[in-house]
Structure formats: structure tokens, C-alpha cells
Amino acid sequence: MKKLLSFVLFAVIGSLAAKAQDNQEAMKKFMDYMTPGEMQEELSKNEGEWTTETTVWMQPDAPPLTSKGTCINKMILGNRYLESRHTSMFMNMPFEGIGTF
């Protein structure tokens, strides 16, 4: 009985040790994946305040409508995403847009 209990105990401890090792490897992979890299570096080149000009054709034979505005881009959430906030006037009404890349 003692031998069986010892075997079970060692099997459980061995299993837990292997699971802990797997968890450490999974956590390392997760941290590597979540660390900002080359793509975020490229996105960050678009940070800042930009002047915009938008042209829209409402019908093929009609003249286009144009509007000017501003767009403010900044990196958010630990430099993982680029948030873009656009403001302008469209058809004499205020327009606001938000994008996340």
C-alpha cells in the first residue's frame, strides 16, 4: 500500500511540475506576443496632428463635395494600437470619426 501511495504521490508531483513548466512556456509565448514590435513601430510613425481634405462624389455626374479637417493620431494601450480621431465639417454639419489600428 505504501508503494502504491508513494507512486501516486510522485506521479501527481511530476504531473504538477510538468504543468508548471508548460504554464511558464505558455506565459513566455504570451508575453512575447503582447510585446509591441515592428508593426507598432510602423504605426507610431503616423502619430501627430494631421490636416485632412476629403472629397466625396454623391452622384457620378454631380460635382464632388470637399471638406477640410484635422486628424489626431496617438499610440494607446501600451503602444500596441494607433487611435485616430478625425474632426471636420460635412454638408455644413460637424463630423467626428474614431478609428483604431
pLDDT at 78: 93
- Can you read off the three cell numbers belonging to residue 72? 489626431
| Domain regions of the chain by residue span | 1-35, 37-101
Residue with cell 487611435: 83
**Averaged pLDDT, 6-23:** 64
pLDDT at 14: 61
Q: What is the pTM of this model?
A: 0.66
The one-character DSSP state at 62 is S
Mapped onto helix, strand or coil, the DSSP state of residue 49 is strand
CA dihedral (85, 88, 89, 95) in degrees, to 10, reads: 0
C-alpha to C-alpha distance for 8 and 58, rounded to whole angstroms: 75
Q: Tens of pLDDT along 36-95? A: 999 999 999 999 999 999 999 999 999 999 999 999 999 999 999 999 999 999 888 999
